[in-house]
Amino acid sequence: MTAVLCRHLGLVHIEVAEDIASDTFLKASEHWAIHGVPNNPTAWLYTVAGNKIKDYFKHRSIFENKVKDALTSNEIEIEKDFEFNNQIIADSQLAMIFAVSNPTNSIEAQISLALQILCGFSVEEIANAFLTNRETIKKRLQRARNNLRNDNFQINGLTETDIKTRLDTVLKTLYLLFNEGYFSKTNNQLIRKELCSEALRLTLVLTESQLTNTPQVNALLALMCFQSSRLDARTGVNGEAILFDKQDKSLWDKSLIDRGNYYLVNACNGEEISTYHFEAGIAYWHTTPTDNTKWENILQLYNRLILIAYSPITALNRAFAFSKVYGNEKAIKEVEKLNFSQSNYYHELLGYLYCSIDINTAIQHYTKAIDLTKSKIAQKTLKQEIGRLLELKKNKGTASR
C-alpha cells in the first residue's frame, strides 16, 4: 500500500504515505470488528486510502505550509481518481524497491530501507538480518531517508542502466525477505509463510521483464521454490522445528520442486554464476530422492560457495554436509575449528553431532544454544531434544544395570 500511495504522492512524501497506510489499517481494524470483513477487503482498504489522500491535500493549512512548495506539477493530480489493481500493486512494489535502491546510499542502507518500507520489517528484524545491533540500524535508516529526500528521488523514470545496476541490491533484499520467512529470528513462529510467498511473488515478477529476466534472478527463484517446497514438513503440529532427517517427505510440494527445476535450468542459460546458483544447487539436492552421491554433491557445492561468499552460517551448513559424508567425529573437529562460540547455531550443530557420541556434551551444547537464541520456538525444540536425550541416558543406565 505504501508503494501504491507513493505513485500518487511522490516518494518525497514517503512518511505521509506510511502514515496513511497505518491509518487505513487502523480504521479497518475498528470498522471490521463491528461490521465484519467486507467481501473485497483489498478494494475497501484502497478506497479508504484514496479518500485519505484527497483529505490530506484538501487540508489547507497542511497543504499550504508543508506540501505545496515541494510539489511540482508532474508529481500529483489531486482530482485524479485513485486507481489500484493487482498489476498496479505489483508494479508499484517493484518500482519502489528499485527506487530506494539508490546509490546515494550504501548498499546496506538501501537494503535496510527496502526491508523496512516494503517488507514491513522492524528495526530488530533488520538488525538480525545484518547481524548487527538496533542502534546501528536506526541511524542507518535515518541517514538513508534524509539522503533520498535531499536527492529528490522518484518512483518512476528509472532508466535501463538504473535497473541493471540496482538489480543486485534488489535481489539481496528479496533474498533477506525470504530468509526471514524461512527461519524467523524475531517472531514466535519458526516459519512466516507470508514473507516467503511475497519474496517468491516479487522475484517471479522480475522474470516477466526482459530487463530483469537474468540467470541470477532465475537462480534465486529456483532456490525459493525448492526451499518453499519443504515448508509444511519443517514444523510439527505444535510449531516445533523438525530437522531435515526427520521430515515427512510426503509433505513436500512436488509442484514447487518441479518449478524449481524449471527455473534452475533457465538459470544455466549463459555464463553467469552467482551465489544463488550454488545455493539453488544445494537446495535442489536436498529435494531429490536419497542416493549415494547426494551429500557428496551438496558438500562440493558448499566448498565452492564458501570460497566466494564466506559467512558463519554457510560454514556451519557446510559442516553439517561434511558430517553426512565423513561422519560426526570428523565433523566435530571441523566445527570446533570455526569457534563461533557466541552463535546458537554453532552449539545446536555440535549438540546434534555429539548426540550419538557423548550425550552429556550434546546436552551442554543444546543448553548453551537455548541461552543464545531469541526464538521461543527454537528454545522449545531444543528443550524437547534435551528431554529426549535425558530419557535415552536414563534408559541406557537402566539397561546397564
pLDDT reading at 355 higher than 90: yes
For residue 230, count other CB atoms closer than 10 A to its CB: 21
Contact status, residue 203 vs residue 174, Cβ threshold 8 Å: yes
Q: What is the mean pLDDT of residues 45-72?
A: 70
Give which of 107, 124, 222 is closest to 170, Cα–Cα: 107
Q: What is the pLDDT of residues 358-380, one digit of tens each?
A: 999 999 999 999 999 888 888 88
Q: Is 241 helix (H, G, I), strand (E, B) or coil?
A: strand
Tell whether 219 is covered by a domain.
Answer: no
In a domain, 351, yes or no: yes
Write down the pLDDT at residue 73.
42
Map grid coordinates 527463484 to a residue: 221
Considering the domain boundaries, does residue 397 fall inside one? yes
Assess if residue 188 is contained within a domain: no
Q: Residue 378's Cα: distance from chain center in Å?
A: 18
Secondary structure of 76-106 in the HEC alphabet?
CCCCCCCCCCHHHHHHHHHHHHHHHCCCCCC
Query: Residues 107-130: pLDDT tens digits?
Result: 888 888 888 877 778 888 888 878
CA distance 298 to 336: 21
The total number of structural domains that make up the chain: 1
Longest dimension (CA), the chain: 88
Q: For cell 558430517, name the residue.
A: 323
Is residue 118 assigned to a domain?
no
End-to-end CA distance of the chain: 67
Query: Could you give the CA distance from residue 169 to residue 342 in angstroms, rounded to a whole number?
Result: 29
pLDDT given at position 90: 62
**Arithmetic mean of pLDDT, 146-155:** 68
- The residue ranking higher by pLDDT, 21 or 397, is 21
Mean pLDDT of 46-54: 87
The SS3 of residue 285 is helix
pLDDT at position 151 is 65
pLDDT tens-digit profile of 168-226? 999 998 998 898 888 876 656 678 888 899 899 889 989 988 889 999 999 999 999 99
Domain at 330, CATH number: 1.25.40.10
Is the model's pLDDT at 54 over the cut of 90? no
At 124 the pLDDT is 85
Higher pLDDT, 19 or 84: 19
What's the CA gap between 1 and 51, in Å, rounded?
14
Q: Which residues pair with 241 in a beta bridge?
A: 235
Per-residue confidence (pLDDT) for residue 99, from 0 to 100: 80
**What is the arithmetic mean of pLDDT over 40-64?**
79
DSSP 8-class letter at 235:
B
Whether residue 13 has pLDDT greater than 80: no
* Confidence band, pLDDT 50/70/90 cuts, at residue 74: very low
Range of the domain at 362: 290-401
Tell me the pLDDT tens digit for each residue of 253-268. Answer: 999 999 999 999 999 9
**The pLDDT of residue 60:** 44
Q: Give residue for cell 566445527.
A: 335
Which pLDDT score, from 0 to 100, does residue 272 have? 83
The pLDDT assigned to 75 comes to 44
Whether pLDDT at 318 is above 90: yes
Residues, the chain: 401
Question: Which pLDDT belongs to residue 87?
Answer: 65
264's grid cell = 534452475
- SS3 label, residue 193: helix
**Is 301 contained in some domain?**
yes
Q: Name 382's Cβ contacts closer than 8 Å, sequence gap at least 6.
A: 348, 351, 366, 369, 370, 373
Whether residue 394 is contained in a domain is answered as yes
Q: What is the mean pLDDT of the chain?
A: 85
With contact defined as beta carbons under 8 Å apart, do 332 and 320 qualify? no
**Is residue 313 one of the residues assigned to a domain?**
yes
All three cell numbers of 231? 515448508
Backbone angles phi, psi at 77, to 5 degrees: -110, 105
Q: Phi first, then psi: what are they for 235, rounded to 5°?
A: -130, 150
Q: What's the pLDDT at 306? A: 95
Percent of the chain at pLDDT above 70? 86
